[in-house]
């Protein structure tokens, strides 16, 4: 069987079982080859090869809609739905995202990269089908990690009550990003292939339960799915799979079971020297999260009252060391973002010092808990949000461009954005000595030390007098754009136009004395941030000026009013005209300095 001959699901329908097995083997080999070259979510996708082949053999996509949860399991699905060529551009600037993309193919139901959404989507489709007298079958493929999401449990509650025609495929591999933790994973782990199972979870909710079966046995998958094809009520097919199936060195690595940079497929070693300019290889410089995670570990070990909470995102803030060294003070609640925040409220009331650590894109899911349970009660809880702003090559919804906008509106909340990991560490040391007196958020951007933090020359430039008499304006920047701000300063200086640059750390509330001084001195201001236009840092500066009777001329540099696709900063800055040269053009048009070209 030749994978190149598969242009869509219809090309699988006439294949024999042996041909399907050959196809699965070829898919796995192609997946390993392509992921070795580009990097990506290799582990999850190796785990769903046989499942994806079986789904597209038995069902009729896109009429029978398949919803992948979490969406990074969709690589094989893309390969079998006419997008084999997109694997060459996977997770590259302008290429295919490593998640479903509805504008890329009718076989992708929604753009999605957050967990726990599939059951609600599938139920909605099933209810619409019932209302419209349509017999198509929505299929939610949900991992055991995503199943513990509160949203998924809410959906199960209604699914069991509605009795609609829909199928849930529970892809149970015992892991989210890290090993799954909690009562639901513990229960699922007790159900074994080949044993008679007395299901105590789904059946009691009114949902038919089938399984568990071997998720790598193509014959068992096809047989079971065919039996479930004509269901009239909701059913769950429980399959057991292995992340990284077929690649021994991935199977043995807890972290690389989830994601890997480009690697040597024979040895598994990460490629040290870049071979293609379009591909993102493992950086030689450390990520800022490594040092921040080390500092969190340090202060946690020194104070028994400090407790760490994270919703399955240990890696985003490099918390594995902390979990290893002080496990009794660390809680990974799994993919349960809302619970994580209100758990911190209870711990605070109980006299502990909670530090809640998130990958920032997921924190928006717990906004009500932040407002209702933390801020309204003015609880002294510290939140650390990683990857604020642009977050690289995963998906548009893995960026965190809304942080400043939606967080700034919450009363009693303080927000800080330290310039680098050194300043961040100093913040943590000070907080450890004098704990916060109200809800406090520390943000930090995605990137390596070399790519996102200042070098020695830039540090000297930043230390120049903010209120030098020769300056005609000031650039106010948050940490994610401070290097760009200094580059812009140098471009302006070449034209004999002097601007000060100030990195603004305290975003809420603004420092009244500092900003009064700035507005008394400057009437030309540029704000720079990796946030949407409305409600961001630039908007906050405009509000402060207006509320205090100032009328400066302000150029706001931000991410606009769009969802920015995946990509690296230089590519995205240029595409959306927020690179330094584009900003220089805006300055020229607005202020027409005589010396500008």
Q: Parallel, antiparallel, or unpaired for β 353-359 and 473-477?
A: unpaired
Q: How far apart are CA 155 and CA 498, in angstroms?
A: 58
Beta strands, E only, 104-234: 139-143, 167-172, 208-214
- Whether 78 is catalytic: no
Q: How far apart are CA 218 and CA 52, in angstroms?
A: 10
Phi, psi of 97 (to 5 degrees): -75, 160
Give the ranges where 164-207 is alpha helix by DSSP (H).
183-189
- Whether 365 is catalytic: yes
DSSP 111-125: ---SSS-HHHHHHHH
Give the active site residue among 28, 83, 240, 243.
243
Nearest to 387 by CA among 362, 359, 353, 366: 359
Give the ranges where 304-455 is alpha helix by DSSP (H).
320-325, 337-349, 360-363, 367-369, 403-408, 421-433, 449-452
Check residue 373 and report its DSSP letter: I
3-state class of 90 per DSSP?
A: coil
The 10 Å CB-count burial string (b at 16+, else e) for 127-150 is bebeeeeeebbbbbbbbbbbbbbe
Measured between alpha carbons, how far apart are the two ends of the chain, in Å? 62
- Whether 314 is catalytic: no
Q: How far apart are CA 38 and CA 381, in angstroms?
A: 40
Phi, psi of 69 (to 5 degrees): -145, 105
Give the active site residue among 365, 481, 508, 569.
365
Which residues are registered as beta bridge partners of 213?
Answer: 239
Give the active site residue among 50, 337, 530, 580.
337
Degrees to nearest 5, angle at CA 474 with 468 and 477: 125
**Alpha-carbon torsion angle 109, 111, 114, 118, nearest 10:** -10
Q: How far apart are CA 431 and CA 429, in angstroms?
A: 5
* Contact (CB, 8 A) for 560 and 595: no
Q: Residue 129 has which token pair?
A: 């089908």
Degrees to nearest 5, angle at CA 450 with 447 and 455: 130
Q: How far apart are CA 498 and CA 489, in angstroms?
A: 7
Show which residues are catalytic: 243, 337, 365
């Amino acid at each position: 069987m030749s994978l190149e001959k598969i242009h869509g699901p219809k090309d699988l329908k006439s294949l024999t079982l042996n041909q399907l097995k050959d196809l699965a083997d070829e898919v796995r080999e192609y997946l390993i080859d392509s992921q070795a070259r580009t990097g990506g979510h290799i582990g999850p996708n190796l785990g769903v090869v046989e499942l994806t082949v079986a789904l597209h053999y038995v069902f009729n996509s896109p009429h029978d809609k398949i919803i992948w949860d979490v969406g990074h399991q969709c690589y094989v699905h893309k390969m079998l739905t006419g997008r084999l060529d997109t694997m060459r551009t996977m997770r590259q600037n302008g290429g295919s995202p490593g998640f479903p993309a509805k504008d890329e193919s009718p076989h992708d139901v929604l753009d999605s990269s957050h967990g726990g959404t599939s059951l609600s989507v599938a139920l909605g489709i099933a209810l619409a089908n019932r209302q419209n007298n349509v017999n198509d079958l929505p299929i939610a493929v949900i991992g055991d990690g995503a199943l513990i999401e509160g949203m998924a449990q809410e959906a199960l509650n209604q699914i069991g009550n509605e009795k609609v025609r829909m199928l849930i495929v529970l892809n149970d591999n015992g892991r989210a990003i890290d090993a799954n933790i909690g009562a639901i994973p513990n229960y699922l782990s007790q159900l074994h292939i080949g044993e008679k199972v007395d299901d105590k979870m789904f059946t009691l909710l009114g949902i038919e339960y089938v399984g568990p079966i071997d998720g790598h046995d193509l014959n068992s998958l096809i047989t079971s799915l065919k039996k479930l094809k004509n269901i009239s009520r909701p059913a769950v097919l429980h399959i057991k799979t292995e992340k990284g199936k077929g690649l021994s060195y991935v199977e043995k690595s807890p972290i690389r079971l989830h994601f890997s940079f480009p690697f040597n497929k024979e040895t598994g070693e990460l490629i040290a020297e870049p071979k293609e300019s379009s591909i993102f290889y493992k950086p030689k410089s450390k990520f800022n999260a490594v040092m921040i995670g080390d500092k969190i570990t340090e202060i946690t070990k020194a104070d028994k009252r400090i407790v760490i909470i994270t919703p399955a995102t240990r890696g985003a803030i490099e918390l594995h060391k902390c979990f290893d060294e002080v496990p009794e003070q660390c809680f990974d609640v799994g993919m349960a973002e809302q619970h994580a925040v209100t758990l911190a409220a209870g711990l605070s009331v109980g006299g502990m010092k909670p530090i809640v650590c998130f990958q920032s894109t997921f924190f928006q899911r717990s906004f009500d808990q932040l407002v209702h349970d933390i801020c309204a009660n003015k609880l002294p809880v510290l939140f650390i949000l990683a990857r604020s702003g642009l977050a690289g090559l995963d998906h548009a919804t893995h960026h965190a461009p809304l942080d400043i906008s939606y967080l700034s509106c919450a009363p009693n909340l303080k927000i800080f954005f330290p310039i680098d990991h050194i300043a961040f560490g100093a913040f943590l040391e000070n907080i450890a000595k004098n704990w916060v007196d109200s809800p406090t958020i520390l943000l930090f951007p995605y990137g390596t030390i070399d790519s996102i933090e200042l070098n020695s020359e830039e540090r000297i430039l930043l230390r120049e007098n903010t209120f030098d008499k020769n300056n005609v304006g000031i650039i106010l920047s948050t940490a994610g754009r401070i290097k760009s701000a200094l580059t812009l300063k140098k471009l302006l200086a070449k034209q004999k136009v002097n601007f000060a640059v100030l990195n603004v750390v305290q975003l809420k509330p603004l420092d009244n004395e500092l900003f009064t001084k700035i507005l008394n001195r400057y009437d030309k201001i540029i704000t720079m941030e990796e946030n949407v236009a409305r409600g961001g840092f630039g908007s906050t500066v405009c509000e402060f000026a207006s509320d205090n009777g100032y009328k400066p001329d302000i150029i706001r540099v931000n991410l606009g009013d769009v969802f920015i696709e995946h990509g690296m900063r230089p590519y995205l800055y240029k595409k959306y005209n927020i690179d330094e040269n584009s900003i220089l053009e805006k300055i020229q048009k607005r202020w027409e300095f005589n010396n500008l070209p």
